[in-house]
Structure 1
Amino acid sequence: MSAAGSSLALRRAGPEDAGALCKLHVAVWRATYADLAPPKALAALDEAHRLPGWRAHLEKVSEGEGTIMAEVAGALAGFVRYGPASQPELGHGGEIKHLYVDPAHAGQGIGRALLRAGLDALREVGQDVVCLAVVEGNIRALRFYKAMGGVEAGRFRDAGPLWKSENLILRWPVGERTERGME
């Protein structure tokens, strides 16, 4: 494992983590989608817009959903948010809703650890299939998820009010831990 491996800690996020998660979410989202999202979406989806959603999610976590944080030397390095599928196109299984890693910690195995943790959490609540959506053009994410055993399972257009993005669906069967790249 990498240098981060010895100091990497995963833990469930709580309401007190909303501000830090929001800040990392916005920074990584904007960097990732700078050349893909329309300028209006990049400007509008800021911390002020996202913080109420993070607070609401973390204050009232329903069964089968949650957020796991990755910390390196006590500092937030990434997170995964998971829960029931939110789009009809994803089916009735679980969904990896967000997986973001601070670019300063890229390539250290943090994304791998977070994806495993999210898949495991969904398996533990009885999900046997987990999906996620990747915006077309997000080549780095698509390569990562495929290397982690995700298989393309369809496409859909997000009906979001600011950005109607085209998305690829990736799927993992998680009933048993047999995913390619997950050992």
Structure 2
Amino acid sequence: MNEIAIRSAGFDDVQAVAEFHVKSWRHTYRNLAPPHAYATLDVPYRRKTWTAKLSANDGTLIVLVAELAGRIVGMGAAGESSKPEYGGRGAIRSLYVDSDFKRRGIGRTLLSRLAIHLTSAQYRGAALSVVRENAPAIAFYEALNGRRVGEYVDPGSVWPSHNLVFAWDDLASLVIR
């Protein structure tokens, strides 16, 4: 049986990360995002953003991929936040798991590894934003004792979304032992 491997993504992973991000994002937001967001937030768009993130990474951002037999089945990113709603906590910038691989512990493991990174970067906690209507993600974060600490409207590049902010002030609570 093949096992899921989690590793840091590098510049060579840009295309695969962009493709996975689009696939997962479209599945997650298929009933939430407006149609024009699908047309704009495509692989070339995501490839451009991931190229910028992975090529300019000074070590403050970590991007992890979960792989099974060379195929990305999950990804997460964490680092510095520029959002005042995060209250100085480190940012979980993205966390996606392939819909065919949910409920296998991949998201939990990725979140644990992201928390370890934020701890080593001396953050006092972690925060993330989730679209208010994304009930499965909200349930996941609540099950991990995430606290709702705020909300805001993210103007986004193509889709203004109403987001809830979840936070953890004890990063150790996110680390799998």
Fold conserved (TM > 0.5)? yes
Residue among 2, 7, 11 paired with 2:3: 7
Residue among 103, 110, 127 paired with 2:99: 103
* Structure 2 residue 132 is matched with structure 1 residue 136: yes
In 2: Cα distance, 1:50 partner to 1:157 partner: 22
* Structure 2 gap segments, 5+ residues each: none
Equivalent AA in structure 1 for residue 53 of structure 2: H
| TM-score normalised to structure 2 length | 0.93
Residue among 142, 148, 162 paired with 2:144: 148
What SS does structure 2 have at the residue aligned with 1:31?
helix
In 1: Cα distance, 2:63 partner to 2:112 partner: 13
Answer yes or no: is the 8 Å Cα contact 2:76–2:93 preserved in 1.
yes
CA-to-aligned-CA distance 1:101-141 (integer Å, 9 cap, x gap)? 11121111101100111111111110011100000100000
What is the alpha-carbon root mean square deviation over aligned residues? 1.6
Change (3 A) 1:178 1:111: closer
Equivalent AA in structure 2 for residue 37 of structure 1: A
Equivalent AA in structure 1 for residue 78 of structure 2: Y
* Structure 2 residue 29 is matched with structure 1 residue 33: yes
Answer yes or no: is the 8 Å Cα contact 1:119–1:174 preserved in 2.
no
**Which residue of 2 is the match for residue 178 of structure 1?**
173
**Which residue of 1 is the match for residue 76 of structure 2?**
80
Shift of 1:88: 2.0
The more displaced of 112-121 and 67-76 is 67-76
For 1:160-179, what aligned pairs fall within 5 Å after superposition? 160-174=156-170, 177-178=172-173
| TM-score normalised to structure 1 length | 0.90
Answer yes or no: is the 8 Å Cα contact 2:27–2:99 preserved in 1.
no
Residue among 58, 61, 66 paired with 1:65: 61
In 1: Cα distance, 2:51 partner to 2:59 partner: 17
**Which residue of 1 is the match for residue 87 of structure 2?**
91
What SS does structure 1 have at the residue aligned with 2:115?
helix
* Runs of 4+ with >6 A deviation: none
- Number of residue pairs matched? 177
Shift of 1:42: 1.7
